[in-house]
Structure 1
């Protein structure tokens, strides 16, 4: 895909940020005959509140040099990232791919499941983003009004400790939650807030008590940092439930 102009210093700073985060790894294949990189893939690890605060791996940006394809290097690369996801404690790993690559990933042990949806934003032509963003400027609070048929004013805000019981009950409509006690829940919230890469949003009636007991919907945004497309980031919407 498109890469764009990325200065060496910018790439080094972004790589240091990824290494510090320890939840996003770029793996490369090196041709030892000429010391050239001939393949690459990325593992992104997403923190969950479902499955007892489990982890999910995302396999991204898999590529092998055009002159070396058909030799099994791609499968070796995918196998290594898949193994790494297991070592990081992930209970599953996902990959989005084109229809042309389905057979390849099936040969690596992956299975078709559900569908991918995408939206694109017009950010090209803007300045190079920060290689190591230190804080988020996203506004995570606001209100939304339903249409004329089902009138009602609701507010959305970040997830917090007091939301645990109602939040986990909502998630149980989606899938298995398991045992998530107050200590584990608090630890997960603190871990997510430190990374500033995952954002959990809850929705409740605007007039509801401020104690987390009236949450009616929730969802997660995970931000994945890239080296492609001028160093832009990609958002993953996860675990939407009403």
Structure 2
């Protein structure tokens, strides 16, 4: 077998994760979210992850970000590379201002204090938060939080950007602006993992797609081919449900 010669930025090897639950519908009180998942993320690629709600897409991103540890298997990340998970409100300190949160986020993503300070006015301008940038994040709407999180990670240049549906939140004008900024980064040297329910966004932004179903990778490969198989699966399930 010919090995892919691109640099591997991050790799999951037989990763499984389970949670204890009080609901009796799961396996003896255990919810198996991901089951022996393996794949590699390559430098400069945009990897899409699709699937129905509750199949483990966000859990997979949290494992890649180091927020959750797998129950079994290994997560390997290229040494010295930083990763940031973009999801609404993740990591925000609600009593701190948008400015202070942006400062902390930038430093947690590897920026020095001097560099983090230099990013702040650009983050304020791009996020379009205006005077709210100086107000506590607990006063923000979901759209404002998403703009702050997206802009901070985008402009502080993390190595691996993990995006969880964030382009679907906020007003239409900012959504267009965010998509354009993401496209510009993708055309540069950004490595991205992108979770979305938007076929259009996945088709336009992603080089490769993983379809996750019931904790497994059901298909992997060309975006159009995987999206077509996913859509057909949804149609088949709908037909069965109507019988």
- Measured against the shorter chain, the TM-score band is under 0.3
Query: Normalising by the residue count of structure 1, what TM-score does the alignment of the two structures yield?
Result: 0.28
- Structure of larger gyration radius: 1
Larger relative CO (CA 8 A, sep 6+): 1 or 2? 2
Structure with more helix by fraction: 2
